[in-house]
A and B are shown apart, each in its own frame.
Chain A
Amino acid sequence: AQSVTQLDSQVPVFEEAPVELRCNYSSSVSVYLFWYVQYPNQGLQLLLKYLSGSTLVKGINGFEAEFNKSQTSFHLRKPSVHISDTAEYFCAVSLGPGNTGKLIFGQGTTLQVKP
């Protein structure tokens, strides 16, 4: 069965510092990978996704993620964070071709950006 593990429940960081939010998954088949962000009292919105091709994926708001098949990881990075990046971030996985409906989320990582 597939699973997603976000290794940090909370990540405090100072403004303008770099940040990495870690995500590992387990699956015996190929997967599609996603990062979603949830701002306080809102629904989720897509930051970026990996379906195929280049393993370095760029998303909105200056975020990027790298798919590492051997490490089964999809870590999210930003070189310089802003206060407005404070939010909860979710990694998610969907099975590859043939299963396009089911989506499994990680537990979430709260990014706290301090001035």
Chain B
Amino acid sequence: EAQVTQNPRYLITVTGKKLTVTCSQNMNHEYMSWYRQDPGLGLRQIYYSMNVEVTDKGDVPEGYKVSRKEKRNFPLILESPSPNQTSLYFCASSLNRVTYEQYFGPGTRLTVT
């Protein structure tokens, strides 16, 4: 089954404790992206990747890192999480650019205390 998976689905952590949210797709997609969803703000793009080793900033990249060492994986790294990064995070992928349909993962709800 074609899908985007994210782990963990739920995470509660403390300020400053490094964490990684994994994202994996099995559709051989070149394009992958991370978003955060906050009430009243919609989805905001954090980072995106057009292919392996090619990443670029979205609208809200501060406090986040990404890497794309393999085509299927696009982890989101929070080196020193802060409470303002409490949010619902979505990973998405598409064939090779944003104009193609993006397939979204189920989301990761992160709480930073």
Does B25 lie at the interface of the complex (its beta carbon under 8 Å from any beta carbon of A)? Answer: no
The reply to whether A94 and B58 form a contact with Cβ atoms under 8 Å apart is no
Does A100 lie at the interface of the complex (its beta carbon under 8 Å from any beta carbon of B)? Answer: yes
Question: Besides the contacts A32-B99, A49-B99, A102-B45, what 12 more A-B pairs have beta carbons closer than 8 Å?
Answer: A32-B98, A43-B104, A43-B105, A44-B92, A44-B102, A46-B102, A94-B99, A100-B98, A101-B31, A101-B56, A101-B97, A108-B42
Instruction: Give A residues with C-beta under 8 Å from B.
Output: 4, 6, 9, 32, 42-46, 49, 51, 90, 92, 94, 100-108
24 chain-A/chain-B pairs, Cβ below 8 angstroms: A32-B98, A32-B99, A43-B92, A43-B105, A43-B107, A44-B92, A44-B102, A46-B101, A49-B101, A101-B98, A102-B48, A102-B56, A102-B58, A102-B59, A102-B98, A103-B33, A103-B45, A103-B58, A103-B98, A104-B45, A105-B43, A105-B45, A107-B40, A107-B42
